Amino acid sequence: MALAGKRIGRAASVACRRLVGRQVLIPGRISRSAQITTVCKVHKVCVLPGDGIGPEIMEVATKALTMAGAKEGEDFEYKYCLIGGAAIDATGKPLPDETLATAKESDAVLLAAIGGYKWDTLPSAQRPERGLLAIRAGLNAFANLRPAIVPRQLADSSPLKRELVEGVDILIVRELVGGIYFGQPRGFGVNEKGERIGFNTDVYSEPEVERIARVAFEAARKRSKRLCSVEKSNVLEVSQLWKEVVIRVGKDYPDVELSHMYIDNAAMQLLRNPKYFDVIVTGNIFGDILSDEASMLAGSLGLLPSASISGSGPGIYEPVHGSAPDIAGKDVANPLAMVLSAAMMCRYDLSIPKVADRLEAAVNAVLDAGLRTGDIYKEGPDTRLVKCSEMGSELMKHL
C-alpha cells in the first residue's frame, strides 16, 4: 500500500535537521554512542473532523500520526476547526472565515468527512458540501491525487475476481477547482415553455488544463510512464479543448506513453481490465465518478486516501469515503483511509516520509493480522471483526 517512490508534490520547508556526532554512521542505523541533537520545526496541521464518522476516524488518525512522528523525532501542532454541517450548526456557514484563515496558515490540512441527512433540506448554497468546495478553491488545491490500490490481503474482498484486481495500482489525477462544479452560470430558472429548469456550466481554460496535465505527466514519470487522459471529446467542446491541450503538453514528456479514452469506456475498462491503467488524468466530475468506482476494486471506500495539492500552499488530505451518517457514533467505521491520508500528508506536504512509512507499515500489519472492520470483513479462520476504536488500538501497538 506504500506510495513511496511514486509520489509527486512540492517540497515543504519543514524538514527536520539532525546534528550527529563525528562517528561514521551506517545508513539507516545510528550507533548508540553517537550523540544526536534533533532540531525540528513543529508541523502545523489544521484538523477538520467534520461530520458523521469524521470525529471517530480523525481521533484514530491523529493518535497514530502523533506516535509515528514521535518515533521519528517529529512533532505536530493540531488546530481543530469547523467545516460542513458542524460549522453550519455553530456559525450558520459551511466554511467559517476562521477555518479558511487557519488552513492557510498551516503546513497542511487533514480533513475527515462532511455532510449528512440532517442538512439535506438546506438550500444548495448553504449545504455542507459547499464548505468542501470552498476550502479547495480557497487553498487553490487544484490537483486531487487518488490512489486506487488493492492490498494483497484484501484481493478476495473485491466484488471482482481476484485475478482481475490483485496487483492493481492506479493513480487518478483529478482536476479539482474547475469544471462543472465551479462553472458559471449555474442555478435554477424557467425555460421558454414556462417549465422550471436547473443548469450548470462545464468550463475549462487552457491554463487550467495545462497545469493538471503537467501534474499527471510528472506523476506518470515516477511510476510506469503511462498516462491515460479521460474525457468526452466526441460530444463536448470542453473535452475537445481538454484533449488538445493534453496532447500539446505531452510533447514535453516524450518518455511518457499518452493514451485517450472516453469516460463511458473508461468506466467500463476499470471493471473489465483495471490493470490496463497506471495514471489517469481527467476533469472534476469525471474524476469524481471514476475515483469512487475505482475504490470498489478493493471492495471498500474505507481504505482509500486522497491528496489535494496546490503546488504553492497547504494541501488537503482526506479519505475518499463520505461521512456515513447511518453508522456515526456506533464505533464501527473504518479509520484506515484516514490514517493513510495522514501518511500522504507526511509525504507530499510535510516531507517526512519516514513517518509515512511507519503509518503505512502499521496499516499493512493490522491487515496481515486479519483485523477487519465491517466494511471489509469476510468471515474466515484468519480474520477477526473489530470496531473502529479497536482498530486504532491495534495500529498503536504496531507503531
Q: What is the pLDDT of residues 175-211, one digit of tens each?
A: 999 999 999 999 999 999 999 999 999 999 999 999 9
Catalytic residue among 51, 202, 204, 232: 232
Give residue-wise pLDDT tens across range 270-296. 999 999 999 999 999 999 999 889 888
255 included as an active-site residue: no
Answer for the pair 314, 12: CB distance below 8 angstroms, yes or no.
no
Cα–Cα distance, 76 to 150 (Å, whole number): 30
317 included as an active-site residue: no
Catalytic residue among 107, 288, 357, 375: 288
Catalytic residue among 292, 331, 354, 387: 292
CB atoms within 10 A of CB 51: 28
Cβ-Cβ contacts under 8 Å for 245 (sequence gap 6 or more): 206, 209, 210, 213
Read off the pLDDT of each residue in 106-129 and give the average, rounded to a whole number: 94
- What pLDDT shows up at residue 370? 94
264 included as an active-site residue: yes
- What pLDDT shows up at residue 153? 83
Cβ-Cβ contacts under 8 Å for 191 (sequence gap 6 or more): 197
232 included as an active-site residue: yes
- What pLDDT shows up at residue 40? 57
Per-residue confidence band for 100, with pLDDT thresholds at 50, 70 and 90: very high
Catalytic residue among 75, 89, 97, 264: 264
What average pLDDT does the chain have? 88
Cα–Cα distance, 315 to 349 (Å, whole number): 7
Which three-class secondary structure state does DSSP give residue 6? coil
Answer for the pair 141, 310: CB distance below 8 angstroms, yes or no.
yes
More confident residue, 282 or 16: 282
Residue 364 carries which side chain, given as an amino acid letter? N
Residue 33 has pLDDT above 70, yes or no: no
**Which of 324, 327, 321 lies closest to 387, judged by CA?**
327
Give residue-wise pLDDT tens across range 296-349. 887 777 788 999 998 788 999 999 889 999 999 999 999 999 999 999 999 988
Q: In the numeric block, which cell numbers belong to residue 284?
A: 472534476
Residue 5 has pLDDT above 80, yes or no: no
Catalytic residue among 51, 107, 181, 349: 181
Residue 241 carries which side chain, given as an amino acid letter? L
CATH number for the region 41-200+280-398 comes to 3.40.718.10
Answer for the pair 116, 128: CB distance below 8 angstroms, yes or no.
yes
Q: 230: exposed, middle or buried (C-beta count within 10 Å: 0-12, 13-18, 19+)?
A: buried
Q: What is the DSSP string of 173-219?
A: EEE-SSGGGT-SS-EEEE-TTS-EEEE------HHHHHHHHHHHHHH
278 included as an active-site residue: no
Q: In the numeric block, which cell numbers belong to residue 82?
A: 469547523
- What pLDDT shows up at residue 166? 87
Answer for the pair 350, 107: CB distance below 8 angstroms, yes or no.
yes
- What pLDDT shows up at residue 316? 97
DSSP 399: -
DSSP 302: G
CA dihedral 95, 108, 362, 323 (to 10 degrees): 10
